[in-house]
Structure 1
Amino acid sequence: MESNYLETRLAAVAAAIADKTRARILCALMDGRAWTATELSVMAEVAPSTGSSHLAKLLDLSLIACVQQGRHRYYRLFSHQIAEALEGLMGLVSVDRSVLRSKTPQDLRYARTCYDHMAGEIAVVLHDRLFSLGWLEGEEYALTAEGYAQCEKLGIQTRTDSSRRCLACGCLDWSERRAHLGGVLGTTLLQTCEAKEWIKRDLVSRELHFTPAGKRGLKKVFGISVA
């Protein structure tokens, strides 16, 4: 019975993601923000009534959640696990990397959000830099004494949350096909960069923009030159 239930649920989730309109909605929600049904309908290029029916399907499967704020209702991805699964699927898309790069806007490919952490070319470089600087080590992404000291110096949170999410892990970047930093550390690193006004989010997409202060900060702290 349990096997049949899991198979049925898996087939239902796969069918939900397979629909192009629902896939567009899920991709739009990968920026980590909550959007209204109207906004998501515009992003998916469908009528509001059509968009609402797709949102209902995603809600029913617990792929998204609805948040009530006053008179308005906003939709977001249900959990970090959903975001990680979607990013993994993007990385598994069978497309030649040169074709993928040519079809992906340069700004989005360079720096964007992957739900609640950084992704793109600069995030992959940052991921590798954390290991070469000795902040992280090993296959388990263990934070070293040096890493703890530097994170504390920068004000980066290093405690895991109540959801038992891992402190740090590799997250496959769908455009670079290499790992960027995920987990609690990836989230708090992005939050710290925003708090320091090193990074500004695009208003209508997943793009991230580095401020002059951010370019100086990444060069000073991580030795990374930002274009």
Structure 2
Amino acid sequence: MKEGADIAGIASLIGDPARANILTALLSGKALTPGELAREAGITPQTASSHLAKLEAGGLTLTRRQGRHRYVTLAGSDVASVLEQLTSLAAGSGRLRTRPGPRDPDMRAARVCYNHLAGARAVQLYDSLCRRGALTVGADGITLTASGHALVEGMDIDLAALKAARAPLCRECLDWSERRTHLAGSLGRALFSSMEERGWLKRIEGSRTVRFTRAGAAAFDAAFPPPDAPAAAG
């Protein structure tokens, strides 16, 4: 047998329906307790504990203790990226779970993908940055240009601190609902945090959905205009 990465082992961890529900719940970026994850997965706390042990042993989740409580998170942004892309693959192949309700259009419009913005709004942001030459896409991935530096710093983001960190500055993430690229990496995370701090958007409790305020949507469209937006007056 050939040596190499154990793709089958990771796939079997993700492929179990209960574990898939647990991992999807953690895409919100929030740390959740085993009890909360059991409810998300529709299983008993005892069964959830067994699944969580397997996920942690497989390097997909981390457990942190605070006092008497345990909190579970995804092991990192790489795990979140894989889950988002698997969701896109499942949707593209017609393997969909029906979850009726008024929040579905909102989730397609804007949601959190672990720690950055996803959905139609995120694709709008990415496309706007590319059209304006703030981002260039090549064989080595995404690069923030000099004009992009000025634009990002205008949102009070400390680029020097981001570049000093070990995490990649810009990463592509395939959006599961739009099936197009949105921006991840430390810059994607910083832009999402900046929008939260400015009050442009807020998270919906118990959901990955984020909702823009009326003023926030207008500010977002001004900062990252869609392709059909009228040109600003000179």
Q: TM-score, normalised by structure 1?
A: 0.88
- Residue of 65, 68, 72 corresponding to 1:68: 65
Tell whether the 8 Å contact from 1:161 to 1:184 is kept in structure 2 after alignment.
Answer: no
Match in the other structure for 1:111: 110
Q: Please state if 1:45 is matched with 2:27.
A: no
1:160 corresponds to: 163
**1:26 maps to which residue?**
23
* Structure 1: stretches of 5+ with no match in the other structure: none
Distance across 2 between alignment mates of 1:155 and 1:33: 24
What is the deviation of 1:223? 2.4
Aligned amino acid, residue 192 of structure 1: S
Match of 2:174 in 1: 172
Give how far 1:134 is off.
2.2
Offset of 1:17 from its aligned partner?
Answer: 0.9
Shift of the alpha carbon at 1:63? 0.6
Secondary structure, counterpart of 2:154 in structure 1: helix
Residues of 1 paired with 2:164 and 2:26: CA distance? Answer: 22
SS in 2 for 1:106: helix
Structure 2: runs of 5 or more not aligned: 229-234
Query: What percentage of residue pairs aligned between the two structures are identical?
Result: 41
How far 1:157 sits from its partner (Å)?
3.5
Query: Where does 1:130-209 land on structure 2 (aligned, <5 Å)?
Result: 130-139=129-138, 140-158=141-159, 159-160=162-163, 162=165, 164-209=166-211
Match of 2:232 in 1: none
Report the counterpart of residue 92 of structure 1 in structure 2.
89
Is the Cα contact below 8 Å between 2:167 and 2:185 reproduced in 1? yes
SS at match of 1:154: coil
Q: 1:52 to 1:201 in 2, by over 3 A?
A: same
Taking the aligned partners of 1:101 and 1:75, their CA distance within structure 2 comes to 24
Compute the displacement of 1:103 (Å): 6.0
Once the two structures are superposed, what CA deviation does each residue of 1:144-191 show, in whole Å capped at 9, x if it has no partner? Answer: 2221112111112432353x3221122101111110111111110001
| Structure 1 residues 217 and 65, CA gap change in structure 2 (3 angstroms) | same
How many residues were matched structurally?
220
Question: RMSD of the alignment, in Å?
Answer: 2.3
How far apart, in 2, do the equivalents of 1:54 and 1:129 lie? 41
Q: Is the Cα contact below 8 Å between 2:204 and 2:210 reproduced in 1?
A: yes
CA displacement, residues 67-117 of structure 1 (integer Å, 9 cap, x when unaligned): 1112211000011111111112222226457x8698671111111011111
